[in-house]
Structure 1
Amino acid sequence: MRRHFLRGLFCFLVLSQTTVHAQSGATPAIPSPKEHFGFNIGDDYQLATYTQTEAYFKKLAASDRTKLVDIGLTEEGRHQYMIIVSSPENLKKLDRYKEISTKLARAEGLSDEQARAMAAEGKAVVWIDGGLHATETVGTMQLIETAWQLVSRKDPETLRILDKVVILLTHANPDGQELVSSWYMREPKPEKRLLENVPRLYQKYAGHDNNRDFFIMNMKESQNIGRQLFVEWLPQIMYNHHQRGPAGSVLAGPPYRDPFNYVFEPLMITGIDALGAAMINRLNSENKPGFTRLGGSVFSTWYNGGLRTTTHFHNMIGLLTEIIGNPTPEDVPLVPNRLIPNGNTPFPVTPQKWHFKQSIDYSISLNYATLDYAARHGDQLLYNIYKMGKNAIEHGSTDYWTLSPKRIDAITQLHQADLKKAAPGTAGATAPDQYGLLPRGGGIPVKYFEAVLKDPALRDPRGFIIPSNQPDFPTAVKFVNALIKTGIQIQEATADFTVAGKKYPAGSYIVKTDQAFRPHVLDMFEPQDHPNDFQYPGGPPVRPYDAAGWTLAFQMGVKVDRILDGFEGPFKKLPYGELQVPKGKMDATAAAGYTLSAQANNSFIAVNDLLKSGVDVYRLPTGPGGKSSLGAGTFFVPASAKAKAVLDKSAKELGLDIAGVAKRPTGALVKVAPMRIALWDAYGGSMPSGWVRWLMEQYHFPMQVIYSPDIDAGDLRKKYDVIVFVTRAIPAVGATGTGGGGGEGGFASREPKAEELPAEYRPWLGKITADKSIPQLKAFLEAGGNVVTIGSSTNLAYHLGLPVKNALVEMTNSGQERPLSNEKYYIPGSILRIDLDSTQQATWGLSNQTDVYFDASPVFKIAPDAVAKGTVKPLAWFSTNKPLRSGWAWGQAYLQDGVAAFMAPVGAGKLYAFGPEITFRAQAQGTFKLLFNQLYATSMP
């Protein structure tokens, strides 16, 4: 009897404990966030650091619903984690579900029947991340709460999701969370805690631009994330959490406004529509207002390079939400025109006090809406990504014409020309149709479509060839590696071959367009054709969300042949994700020394290593002569054992071809010496400065970061030989100066007072000012120092009173100059072509025409007598009225004959002014040499 009683009591206790766990959502041995952090996720005035979060992730890993994956180290050396969450049964077969996901996404060698069978067997794979922009604290905190709820909840919806979906919860920026949360929580009084004025970039080099790095993946965090997205898993849905929503709303989400990129597969766009409907419906059903979409926000699907947007070019349904919220409570402001329900915002939010927990709750609802959709439509998602890949392969295997504005304009212009020929003096398409040029029912005859979009010369390419004998092949390999990191199939030639009558050497790379991620291939090689997008006819332009054009092959200066017909050769396919190492060679028998090409960016690494080792290096102003293809500025290194050791390593590791010379060059020699380099930065961090800092580290230029107080203190010539000012460092004449950094635009909203900051950060405060800073810079120049300015910092030329003017002006009726209006001239971030004189020292290593990244950049007019007297020397200019290569350039004819870059002596020093963004986001590798050439001291031996 007693035995039965004890057994019954034991069963009762077990059942009671199970019931408690089911009701409370707890899982044995795994603490809730409250138990681990000491507060609930979403509590006002509370943020978790990454150190605390990492420890919690490791506790969650004890669940049979999770697998914790270390995806790599960050730029600051922290471990970056992805938590895979699914049912215990699914986790046992995780490799199979990954295999299905990748095979369907690549769509290689599968029939529709096989794809449907695999889709039925597989599980939908959904990516959810958080924390990329660390001051957008909702993203990180919702990731923690989402992981907890998926691990602990036992409700039917959660169990169905776990059974049907593999979820990849990925922390996007561990370093940023540690910085921002520690900064916020340093204030002991909760009510005084603020996120403002974080002292440095929340990603070591890129800050906010870490979300502009995903088609090149320079940063370690981007590489870690990209490998999971584009090589390892290829999820069907990825959800990228951001802040902040438009004023008067709670969040902006899918679907997004036009334009979308013309290379997309339509199923991707309509897939975004479907997920957007699921998200907004979920919020509306839960009485959570304030979701705005379409034209209700600025977000579009045009740009590549963002964490969310790059997935669009890989047939993934990439989702972005931008939500309000802050651990410090805030107000939803009154924006009257947001209160009228419409298609953009069907359920407006009213003004109110907003707490952090509300944003967390919204985020969980959005995550669950996404996961519920994936659970209900998993087989469809899996099959659709296969279908998009198969369509892309077919388009790349046949003659295909991508629709774009320039093609449509060509159709219209052809028709208009015929109308004018048939009826001179009429009003074009509005003229009466007496000539059979306007079919009944509207439109124009199909023959005009066929004349343009059946023109063989206007076909999309079947592939691209990257010759291995181009001047800067190591940079071409970096471009190839950017493609490999984004999951593109690359082939390498194992022997010499000929295509379209041109011979190519072994080692050349081939990128064909008959692959699933054809949209991304085209986007990296082909120009972007952004539409002329205006608020109304004749009105101001609608600003693109980010860049309008970015073609990476152009930015990196890679030589590419575009092949229109199918072709084959002695090609081997490289394994997905396998990065390439350029193969260099060195002539070890050199008697007199060695030459390095100034055309290869990696030569500057080798030169810096030589200088550090105490080896003499020279430049040849007229090149090595003879049969050498090397041009002006070639590096010459006299033979020595130490030089041989450094260069042998450089050839192997940097892919440099180092030629030996039997005799010392007889022409002019210019000795190279390292400079004491200073790089401007600001409190809060300048993103352009961060990118240049990364560049200098990668290319082994020693440098020191300085701030405005360092400049104002004077005696600059005693400390530095050259000072580099990136864009937004030097204010316009009459402006008050620059601010700090850190925000999306690069600057904090308010510069803090010194007493508000820890002592270590106070020396970073201050601005470049006309009264204090400019006189010190002028004295530095006059004493023999050099200054390099980029972008808007070329304002220094105006402060110094140099004989240059703004070229982009017009005369008013009163005879006054004013800047051209946006209705007449507007060039957002795009790629333009400039001419330059590559025999000048500042431009050594470049060809006579070069593509540059141009973002409303300065353009100059130089007084003719200044050029004649040598007061100002043009370095680069626009020689045509159509310099656009990729993007959008309204009124580009105004650029013709404008100077893009110049050098001006100032006393014993030199000012270099580069209007285009020659180091843009460390992507513009084709113009790095315009900076690097200015970082050496040169003298005749």
Structure 2
Amino acid sequence: MRKHFLPGVLFLLLISLTTVRAQSIPSPKEHFGFNIGDDYQLATYTQTEAYFKKLAASDRTKLVDIGMTEEGRHQYMIIVSSPENLKKLDRYKEISTKMARAEGLTDEQARALAAEGKAVVWIDGGLHATETVGTMQLIETAWQLVSRKDPETLRILDKVVILLTHANPDGQELVSSWYMREPKPEKRLLENLPRLYQKYAGHDNNRDFFIMNMKESQNIGRQLFVEWIPQIMYNHHQRGPAGSVLAGPPYRDPFNYVFEPLMITGIDALGAAMVNRLNSENKPGFTRLGGSVFSTWYNGGLRTTTHFHNMIGLLTEIIGNPTPEDVPLVPNRLIPNGNTPFPVTPQKWYFKQSIDYSISLNYATLDYAARHSDQLLYNIYRMGKNAIEHGSSDYWTLSPKRVDAINQLHQDDLKKNTPGTARAATPDQYGLLTRGGGIPVKYFDAVLKDPALRDPRGYIVSAHQPDFATAVKFLNALIKTGIQVQEATADFTVAGKKYPAGSYIVKTDQAFRPHVLDMFEPQDHPNDFQYPGGPPVRPYDAAGWTLAYQMGVKVDRVLDGFDGPFRKLPYGELLTPKGRLETGTVAGYTLSSRANNTFIAVNDLLKAGVEVYRIPTGVSGKPELAAGSFFVPASAKAKTLLEKSARELSLDVTGLAKRPTGALVKVSPMRIALWDTYGGSMPSGWVRWLMEQYHFPMQVIYAQDIDAGDLRKKYDVIVFVTRAIPAAGASGTGGGEGGFASREPKTEEIPSEFRPWLGKITADKSIPQLKKFLEAGGNIVTIGSSTNLAYHLGLPVKNALVEMTSAGSERPLPNEKYYIPGSILQVSLDSTQQATWGMPQQTDVYFDASPVFKIAPDAVAKGLVKPLAWFPNPKPLRSGWAWGQAYLQDGVAAFMAPVGAGKLYAFGPEITFRAQAHGTFKLLFNQLYSTSMP
């Protein structure tokens, strides 16, 4: 008997320890003091972090710290799966990434890996912190997956690796603390937050995922695109359209033409699983397709960027808040249709209902993944393999522009009565062509087999370009999103052009080819109208965003296959090229005005007390040292600082044997003020981040600071981002998060420390103080709609985008004639002017229904206004959608106007847009120095 006793005791002890371990994990009610979904209750991130650490005691979880947030908090991902799977986690991660990248695998090997692996599903919450359902459902989902023992949960744990990721810890801490500060539950409100719920970007944190400026984006992006590359990612948001409970997949058209079709149909499949689950549980109110505004066109969102990486990216937008609300009556949503098969009726709605819906949607997703684990793994491989094959051969991407070209060729032949030209068949009442309809295939071949219209096989980013450091930032943005980049280890020649060692190559024969094309190539948004001749259908976000254009990177497109002395860089390894400082006996050093990082070096020099000058005419014989380049007289301190800048900022610092000939202007730092508002302005937050990155000292000011006057005693330059200055004749601006209109909070509702932030820019109080500031020698920089200041000041400019009515009065052009949502356009400028130093003669600008000006005929001759940028032709569109763009021709995009002893700078385009528009940062930076003759 003795020989059987010890194993039996060990077995009982093991069971006992397992039971104790399970029992040691508290429920949300035991930890927080309330159930997730209870009315008037929210958990802070401090409480949530502590709970995540308790959940980590489960043998179903692994807690991973994925990085620090912008405010210095730990950002966590909880990996949930069966205990057996967690023991082999590295293997399942290896399979997931190998299948997604699809390199060197045969179909047979891929099927074997798909059978061996586990589906990987990402579920996040809290990105938009005021959307509290997302944060709270993440906590409840983690608890249910850890604690439930039903067959479905056990099957999910066996077949799926789940990545539960908190998307915005800082935001949860702010929002929950703000809501819970009111001791009486019925008085708790989410509105009137004092500042952005992400330190710099606020709501725009969901527009940061192809450039990843923010730390949270970088943390998330590394897990999504480098470490794990899940097959499904689910991004929880609010709010659902009025009269529904939630909007979900599939989404409305248009979708981006670079996508792999399997990704789109994969979304369809998951959407069906989600709505079926809700319907089977008698949970109405799911709307999809044309029932909501959400599409799959845009890149840059947490969910949408995954689409360009062959992941099935899911978004739901649900109603619900800890404070009960009502489902409103919207009669046209009451009739069942394909958009909304099971409508919801008007009723009181409680937070717990939204949490229950969210858990059902999560389980629908996870159940689908468990049942189709091998299929999901194989399909992401298949999409990657297709992308590699397309990038390895001649391939033409279909788009509206190509279809228009086909139709135009056909119409031209019809007009010429070319033999063999068939007329297109007329569709019947159902929009269908009769048998034999269509036009001859030769028109398809003329466009879609034109060698000049092929997709590129790759792109070369030469080391010889005006702003190589910014090109490196662009490449690093690609690397952060899992793109393969190659480095030239020696000089090479492609298509007859020579390139130096240290240049970089991005080929399209890789799995994430859709993302590569989307970052380098222009977007071709369709002309999307509600009906022929009717108003346009607004894109969900931007229509065009090509990052290479926004960042001003010089790129060569290569249409034929090519190779060279190229080294493939490891996935996720960022580039850190070093610049150089010319040594020897020199009179001083020069830095190019074309390089954005030059401004960091200059600001560091000025802070250290080193003299810096600008060279108005540039340096003769050195085209890289264009007008406005910087000259630093030689000194030991200057050399030490510049050596550091060259090393860390990828700058080439040129030594000059003699001081530059001609006049120099001395550079001095300015006292910079940046406007912001109560609740936070996203454009202001982005500029604040830019100022910090480029080492410009500045102070944030509010409307009350402006209204108090004496501005010239405190500041030299004030920067107003879009939505700061109201239109002439308006009473004020929208306030709140991002500057969008919201109820102006009452002073007594706001804690005393935030009350100095209240108020708006007004015509009666603020504008006179700004005029005094200008007249006393201060400068003001306005961007976007804040160029309204020019009208308040009575400058000789007016809106260029107007038409005459039959009554003889002017009115803005209607959208049916002119409509340009967020897109990239090209402008011309005079780069010899101080305001535009370092800029090329043509540059791409981000344009979002931006102001365009017409200058009074004699204003330029009299020196009252100086144009800085303009539209020289009727087709400035580079990427996106520009209906009626011909109206822009000869319109002024930016100007400078003296006002008293000061200057007003007006930039219509969004020159600092989301800290992505590196190509136009200098239009701001140049105005942030005081320059004078020495």
Q: What is the CA–CA distance in structure 2 between the aligned matches of 1:187 and 1:628, rounded to whole Å?
A: 63
Contact 1:678–1:720, Cα closer than 8 Å, also in 2: yes
- Show the counterpart of 1:216: 211
The aligned residue for residue 93 of structure 1 is: 88
Structure 1 pair 471–15 and aligned structure 2 pair: CA distance change class (3 A): closer
Offset, 1:734? 1.0
**Structure 2 residue 905 is the aligned partner of structure 1 residue 921:** no
1:906 and 1:138 map into 2 onto residues whose CA distance is 51
Looking at structure 2, the residues matched to 772 and 48 of structure 1 have their Cα atoms a distance apart, in angstroms, of 42
Q: Deviations over 1:275-310 (max 9, x none)?
A: 000000000000000000000000000000000000
Distance 1:810 1:461 in 2: 42
Q: Quote how far apart the aligned CAs of 1:665 are.
A: 1.0
Which of 285, 290, 293 is the equivalent residue of 1:290? Answer: 285
Secondary structure class of the residue paired with 1:253: strand
1:298-697 paired onto structure 2 within 5 Å: 298-422=293-417, 429=424, 441-697=436-692
Within the candidate set 114, 122, 132, 1:119 is matched to 114
1:777 counterpart = 2:770 = yes
Q: Does residue 760 of structure 1 match 2:742? A: no
SS in 2 for 1:129: strand
Q: Which residue does the alignment assign to 1:870?
A: 863
Amino acid of the structure 1 residue aligned with 2:692:
E
Shift of 1:751: 1.3
| Amino acid aligned to 1:894 | Y
User: What are the Cα deviations for residues 811-830 of structure 1, in whole angstroms up to 9, with x where unaligned?
Assistant: 11111000000000000000
Q: Per-residue deviation at 1:736? A: 1.6
Equivalent position SS for 1:796: helix
Give distance in 1, aligned partners of 2:38 and 2:178: 17
Secondary structure at 1:353's aligned position in 2?
A: strand
- Residue 624 of structure 1: how far off its partner (Å): 1.5
Normalised by the length of structure 1, the TM-score is 0.96
Q: Secondary structure at the match of 1:319?
A: strand
* Aligned residue among 768, 787, 796 for 2:789: 796
Partner residue of 1:56 out of 47, 51, 55: 51
Q: Which runs of 5+ in 2 are unaligned?
A: 1-7, 428-432
Residue 925 of structure 2, aligned match among 906, 913, 932: 932
The offset of 1:547, in angstroms, is 0.0
The yes-or-no answer on 1:67 pairing with 2:31 is no
Aligned residues: 920
Q: Is the 8 A contact 1:420 1:428 kept in 2?
A: no
Counterpart of 2:887 (choices 894, 906, 910) is 894
Q: Deviations over 1:516-552 (max 9, x none)?
A: 0000000000000000000000000000000000000
CA–CA distance in structure 2, aligned partners of residues 16 and 710 of structure 1:
66
1:862 alignment partner AA: I
Letter in 2 for 1:187: E
CA gap 1:198/1:831 in 2 versus in 1, 3 angstroms: same
The residue identity in structure 2 corresponding to 1:866 is A
Secondary structure (helix, strand or coil) at the match of 2:58 reads coil
Aligned residues of 2:522 and 2:544 also touching (Cα < 8 A): yes
Provide the rounded CA distance (Å) in 1 between the counterparts of 2:648 and 2:56: 39
Contact 1:465–1:509 under 8 Å retained in 2? yes
Q: Which amino acid in the other structure matches residue 243 of structure 1?
A: Q
Superposed CA deviations along residues 370-412 of structure 1, whole A, max 9, x for unmatched, are 0000000000000000000000000000000000000000000
Secondary structure at 1:460 match in 2: coil
Per-residue CA deviations over 1:551-584 (Å, capped at 9, x if unaligned) read 0000000000000000000000000000011320
Q: Which amino acid aligns with 2:295?
A: S
* Separation (CA, whole Å) in 1 of partners of 2:927 and 2:808: 39
Q: In the alignment, what sits opposite 1:826?
A: 819
1:750 equivalent in alignment to 2:743:
yes
On the 8 A contact 2:724/2:739 being kept in 1, the answer is no
For residues 590 and 142 of structure 1, the distance between their equivalents in structure 2, rounded to whole angstroms, comes to 66
CA offset at residue 626 of structure 1? Answer: 2.9
Deviations 1:763-792 (A, max 9, x none): 000000000000000000000000000000
Counterpart CA distance in 1 for 2:171 and 2:66 is 17
Over the matched positions of the two proteins, sequence identity in percent amounts to 89
Judge conservation of contact 1:788–1:934 (CA < 8 Å) in 2: yes
Q: Which moved more, 1:745-754 or 1:511-520?
A: 745-754
Residues of 1 paired with 2:693 and 2:135: CA distance?
30
Pair 15,60 (structure 1): closer, same or farther in 2 beyond 3 Å: closer
Partner in structure 2 of residue 5 of structure 1 = none
Pairing of 1:848-859 with structure 2 (within 5 A): 848-859=841-852
Q: 1:236 is matched with which residue?
A: 231
Alignment of 1:149-164 (within 5 A): 149-164=144-159
For residues 739-759 of structure 1, the C-alpha deviation after alignment (integer angstroms, 9 at most, x for no partner) is 3221xx543521111111110
Shift of 1:431: 10
Partners of 1:917 and 1:650 lie apart in 2 by 29
The separation in 1 between residues aligned to 2:109 and 2:624, in whole angstroms, is 54
Report SS of the residue matched to 1:789: strand
Kindly provide the amino acid, as one letter, of the partner of residue 37 in structure 1.
Answer: F
Q: Tell me the equivalent position of 1:3.
A: none
**CA 1:427/1:234 → structure 2, altered by over 3 Å: closer, same or farther?**
closer
AA aligned opposite 2:317: E
Q: Distance in 2 between matches of 1:871 and 1:154?
A: 77
Cα distance change of structure 1 residues 431 and 688 upon mapping to structure 2, 3 Å threshold: closer
Code of the aligned partner of 1:636: F
- The answer for the alignment partner of 1:911 in structure 2 is 904
Tell me what 1:704 maps to. Answer: 699
1:48-86 per-residue CA deviation (whole Å, 9 max, x = no partner) reads 000000000000000000000000000000000000000
Tell me, in whole angstroms, the C-alpha distance in 2 between the residues paired with 1:619 and 1:801: 33
Tell me if 1:861 matches 2:890: no
- 1:816 aligns with 809
When residues 289 and 771 of structure 1 are mapped into structure 2, their CA distance, relative to the original with a 3 A threshold, is same
**Cα distance in 1, alignment partners of residues 872 and 847 from structure 2:** 16
Please tell me whether the aligned partners of residues 196 and 748 of structure 1 are also in contact (alpha carbons under 8 angstroms): no
- The 1-side partners of 2:806 and 2:501 are apart by 63
Read off the aligned partner of 1:857 and give its amino acid letter.
S
Letter in structure 1 aligned against 2:563: E
Q: Given the superposition, is the C-alpha separation of residues 361 and 627 from structure 1 closer, same or farther in structure 2, using an over 3 Å criterion? A: closer
Letter of the structure 1 residue corresponding to residue 862 of structure 2 = K
For 1:52 and 1:379, the matched residues in 2 are separated by 38
Does the 8 Å CA contact 1:836/1:849 hold for their aligned counterparts?
yes
Deviation sequence 1:230-250 (CA, Å, 0-9, x none): 000000000000000000000
- When residues 532 and 628 of structure 1 are mapped into structure 2, their CA distance, relative to the original with a 3 A threshold, is closer
| Partner Cα distance (2:211, 2:739) in 1 | 21
SS at match of 2:274: helix
Letter in 2 for 1:245: G
Superposed displacement of residue 590, structure 1: 4.1
Going from structure 1 to structure 2, the CA distance change for 1:445 and 1:756 (only over 3 Å counts) comes to same
Q: Does 1:76 align with 2:74?
A: no
RMSD after superposition: 1.9
Deviation, structure 1 residue 31? 0.2
Q: 1:14 to 1:673 in 2, by over 3 A?
A: closer
SS of 1:868 mapped into structure 2: coil
AA aligned to 2:446 is A
Q: Distance in 2 between matches of 1:618 and 1:457?
A: 47
Which of residues 835, 843, 859 in structure 1 aligns to 2:836?
843
Query: Gaps (5+ residues) in structure 1?
Result: 1-7, 433-437
Cα separation, 2, equivalents of 1:279 and 1:60: 27
SS at match of 1:181: helix
Q: In structure 2, how many angstroms separate the alpha carbons of the residues matched to 1:788 and 1:431?
A: 55
Which amino acid counterpart does residue 561 of structure 1 have in structure 2? D
Is the partner of 1:215 in helix, strand or coil?
coil
Partners of 2:124 and 2:236 within 8 A in 1: yes
Cα distance in structure 2, aligned partners of 1:457 and 1:791: 37
